[in-house]
Amino acid sequence: MQTFRERIENDDLFFDSPVISHGFAPYARDYDVVIDVPAALPPDIPIGDHVGSYIKGRFRYRFTHCPEAHVVTALRDETWRQSWDDVLTDYAKWEAAGQPAGFVWGVNWADGYPGMSYVDDSAAAASWTERLGREMHAIAIETNTFVLRLFCHGLRVRQPPQATR
């Protein structure tokens, strides 16, 4: 049985995967981070020059019993200033506008790089442990767009069923 820390450190899905969404679960106790996990196309797939990737699956990381969460931008101030226009929030409108300079928010995902890590010796996690009487952990999730810091008790990773048409 792996420790919580080992589960975070040994996770092989999160690194460099697109973060599709994040936020508190509807009942506001747990915090969800949803990722799409890419994979390389196998060489036997007859598509063009056989180079490319596809989405292997969507996974929901549910950080349970999360009394505290912090999100801060990972973008520089100058990038924010250059990326203020609403045309950058819609990919098709950005393309139609001639692809103006700035961060294109409209891709609707963040690159999970360097990804998820366990935070050692967190004073906040120790405080939550003492206050709640349960072991609490500090997690950092770094992307190209934002940095997320979570304080939680547990983690459940599930691959939600995909809607069929």
pLDDT in tens, the chain (165 residues): 899 999 999 999 999 999 999 999 999 999 999 999 988 877 666 666 556 778 889 999 999 999 999 999 999 999 999 999 999 999 999 999 999 999 999 999 999 999 999 999 999 999 999 999 999 999 999 999 999 999 999 999 999 776 555
Q: Is the pTM of this model over 0.75?
A: yes
Q: Which of 11, 7, 14, 4 is nearest to 153 (CA)?
A: 4
Any idea where the domains of the chain sit in the sequence?
4-158
CB atoms within 10 A of CB 30: 18
Residue 96 to residue 101: CA distance in whole angstroms: 13
Q: In what order do the strands lie in the sheet with 53-64?
A: 110-111, 18-24, 31-40, 53-64, 154-158
